[in-house]
Structure 1
């Protein structure tokens, strides 16, 4: 696909001096052009800790996100840069650089908390950037993570129960967590043995036993990191350069940086490129650039309205947008295929038309099923079917009109000699009726033998024969070679032939109606089967999520037990039991919406098609 070009970052979420936040329409418009799935990497941390430098390296650019060289925070709000993924051509890498937390000039910690929460909500990987070491002071700087349950809800307000503690569900959709420790000058050594960066982080996240206030304060940020984020990774970085060069990193050549720092930065970038996951919502739905913009709107509007963003509400809002978009994409595909088939109009039979239309409908349904999600009551699938039926009616009319035009043109050509004879009085002579009938029969035979007349050929012929009935009657009356008895027989024969044609037309119409009924029954079965398959796939994704979450919670439970925190381990039993119960739900689905509602709702369609 053609990849939209972003030469530099743009502000995605503006942070105003009065403490309000607002989405930038330009950024949303840019996201709307990214139809690929996205890997979203956000970086957070105190101001002036080198966050923007790492983001520029991920973008494979020397410049882009502002680095600054003073004690002021340069990045306000959240800035976005969409770049091609360096390793996976079917993905887009979205980099989000947040303003520095704890900016003394801002004096609004509430605003910092919302910026942090939005970075968590939007990203598939969250990078926390800090200086020095992972110690209690560093943990205290990460107090924003302890406020997430106040800033984010899993369920909507309507479905929330005061007794629920849904924070355990955060891990289902929260990003992976990477802690980058800058200017690290210690040895990675614990109890006399060398340890890895990840072991250094895991050791720092260990909990203290005890129920006193000191233990609670110490444990809270560590518990939140362990329980909210689905994986944990650590990178430590040496000081990159001298103090003078640090103030001018925009212009410093890589050769002037410390080799260890360069190597560590490369290692960090390679890990992000290889391991950072696609942004995914609950139920396993992977997000595109367009979808990322949509959920950003949902979250920011909630915050601006004074309510707490809900993961469930965001998913439902996105499902409405994506399902509506899925309908439009499916209808576009339907139109595209049917427009190609228009060149084949008129079809010789109605059944031939239905076969052409069936292909377009099937392909449209495939598009809808691929793009839609959480259409659990088939509301959008039903809307799609209604729209397709309306378009089908249009193409049926188009096919019939093409047939009428083709047949009318053919008859105009064939009847020229007959009309000339009538106008010149050639049939108002002795024996003229027989000459007229012979000419009419020859015209009928030539007409019926002609190919490509289409579905209305009998109706057009019948209308033509009715049109010349009075002329035929006049010629019959004027022909003195025929006795009255012969004239009556001729009239009876003419009426019988007309009745036979009417019967043939009626039988053809009934056959078309029967074909329509069978086609629509087949269509309902197709919709039911595809919907059920979709629901089973979505349930399997949810089941896989639950199985993974159960394993994670069992690991957390074991960690509590190993650290002597028996009460906390016991508290996890209910969450684990609930997840197991979810996985014991129905294994099959019944398309009751289509079975109970759709046939009656489409009764009018059946009558008209």
Structure 2
């Protein structure tokens, strides 16, 4: 798990109320948080033998599990304490303290046998705690081990031989640790010192004249065995305050033996595994608890195979669900709905399916014949179908919204009868084509784009037909009105033309009259001018004649004068000539 859990104190895992077992939900909730592999150490033994003290030591605490200081058994059912493993990183140490066996207040030992069996089933290291020595009385008190074959099954439907086959139990049972408390004898055989392990093995040897069933069962069922010997921790009243005493107030050998016991558990206790080798974590242990307790309360014998199969069923179902959840989440993250092609969806599906399958394989447990993986593949295909449908819906919704947005104004114009006029159908078709082009230009419409458009246009065909029919009727009426208007206009134009002609004739007549009057005026003017011109010419002619007469007169006068002057000159000349000649005569 990502972090170590912290439990300040133990919690009851399996409650024992009036002989009825019930799983504590609070403890199960704690186990769901323990995702690390777990080392499970369970301790059983007669009540008031100091089991809880050893478990508190394993938890690294002085208090926690109830020790009790009276002759009554304090621990009822099975209590659990989860602590970080002090040696193995990324592991959790789960300690199970059981109610004391042989409590006379319970009246019978039926519950003791089930407590013993549950401790064996749930633990990876099973600690049996006893007092004194390992003798015949101790073996008799360990009769619970002889009932394990009646209280535990390894197979759901084994043969009689398999049920009695101790090898089957030995491969599935936890390591066995016998802790002997208040041991005051010397560890030796025939005067030779021996180890605590040798002491246990010697005690388990078959001896004539004694009941050997318990010895035989321990030897057959528990292949890995260990023994720890503890001297009395203190004397007198100090035993009642054992959890309050410091190590220096306890017997040195007891402290040393306790330390050795803890070190062995920390270093050698194995991780809890399932038949077939599956590692157990907190949730798996919780499911085993539920399965075993349910079998007991139902009156059945707890079966390891059934428990593992149930666990596999539960975990593989959960692994399938986690894989499906991952697939869905990844698909929703990677797919941009709606896709333009189915291949886009299939390409992302292939990636997400591969990732989901890898997660399932990682989380699955004992998926026999790949049953759950096949289920996963079937459900992934179903999910793909869901995504196909979702893709279609997204495309349909997108296209429907686009069509409503794009064609909405056109629909409003239709409602307002904007096209209820001659030629309206042509205008409608032109606008519709423009909007279709606009729709095609919109991105991310998905695979339903053409189908949605086709269905939309088909749904509006009656509207288009109505506009077309109205257009035809209105156009015919318009043409009729236009023809009437044309005829009326033609008549009006003819009347106007006639009026114009009449006006023109009037104007021509007036113009002619005006022209005639002008001509008469001009003729009069011309005649007047002619008259004036003739008068002027006559006056000029008369003047000319007068002038000519004057000039002639003047010329006559000039000539007369000239002649007179010539005559004078001639006379003068003659006079001169006479004078001259007279002079000559004189001279």
TM-score (norm 1): 0.67
Q: How does 1:59-458 map to 2 (within 5 A)?
A: 59-88=59-88, 90-156=90-156, 158-161=157-160, 165-189=164-188, 195-207=194-206, 214=209, 217-218=211-212, 220-341=213-334, 344-376=336-368, 379-412=371-404, 414-415=406-407, 424-425=418-419, 429=423, 443-458=435-450
Q: Is the 8 A contact 2:419 2:428 kept in 1?
A: no
Give the whole-Å Cα distance in 2 for the aligned partners of 1:268 and 1:401: 67
Higher mean C-alpha displacement, 277-286 vs 7-16: 7-16
Aligned to 2:13: 12
Q: Secondary structure at the match of 1:54?
A: helix
Higher radius of gyration, 1 or 2: 2
SS in 2 for 1:273: helix
Secondary structure of 1:214's aligned partner: coil
Q: 1:466 corresponds to which residue?
A: 458
Change (3 A) 1:456 1:59: same
Gap change, CA 1:463 and 1:23, over 3 Å in 2: closer
Shift of 1:334: 3.0
Shift of 1:52: 0.3
Shift of 1:188: 4.6
The answer as to whether partners of 2:176 and 2:224 remain within 8 angstroms in 1 is yes
> In 1, Cα distance between the equivalents of 2:321 and 2:462?
53
CA distance in 1, matches of 2:5, 2:17: 28
Matched position secondary structure for 1:66: coil
Matches within 5 A, 1:574-585: none
Q: Deviations over 1:411-445 (max 9, x none)?
A: 45555787789764499649x85x87776666555
Q: Distance in 2 between matches of 1:191 and 1:214?
A: 20
SS at match of 1:455: coil
Q: Is the 8 A contact 1:124 1:175 kept in 2?
A: yes
Compute the displacement of 1:38 (Å): 2.7
The alpha carbon displacement at 1:75 in A equals 1.9
Instruction: Report if aligned partners of 2:33, 2:283 keep a CA contact under 8 Å in 1.
Output: yes
Question: Cα gap change, 1:352/1:297 in structure 2, threshold over 3 Å: closer, same or farther?
Answer: same
Distance 1:23 1:294 in 2: 10
Shift of 1:120: 0.7
Change (3 A) 1:107 1:396: same
Q: TM-score, normalised by structure 2?
A: 0.69
Alpha-carbon distance in 2 for matches of 1:404, 1:275:
65
Query: SS of 1:73's equivalent?
Result: coil
What is the deviation of 1:144? 1.9
Q: Secondary structure at the match of 2:79?
A: strand
Cα separation, partners in 2 of 1:358 and 1:233, compared to 1, 3 Å: same
Equivalent residue number for residue 542 of structure 2: none
Partner of 1:593: none
Report the count of equivalent residues: 469
Check 1:230–1:358 CA distance in 2 against 1; reply closer, same or farther (3 A cut): farther
- Indicate the SS of the match to 2:368: coil
Q: CA deviation at 1:382?
A: 4.8
Change over 3 Å in CA distance of 1:427–1:236 after alignment to 2: farther
Distance 1:359 1:345 in 2: 17
CA RMSD between the two structures: 3.6
Residue of structure 2 equivalent to 1:500: none
Q: Deviations over 1:504-526 (max 9, x none)?
A: xxxxxxxxxxxxxxxxxxxxxxx
Q: CA deviation at 1:286?
A: 2.7
Distance 1:164 1:98, change over 3 A: closer
For 2:43, the equivalent position in structure 1 comes to 43
- Return closer, same or farther for 1:449/1:62 CA change in 2, 3 Å cut-off: same
Give the gaps of 5 or more residues in structure 2: 473-587
Instruction: Indicate conservation of the 8 Å contact 1:421/1:427, yes or no.
Output: no
Residues 154 and 167 of structure 1 are in contact (CA less than 8 Å); yes or no, is this contact kept in structure 2? no
Q: 45-54 or 265-274: which moved more?
A: 265-274
For 1:108 and 1:317, locate their aligned partners in 2 and report how far apart those are by CA, in whole Å: 31
- Which segment drifts farther, 162-171 or 376-385? 376-385
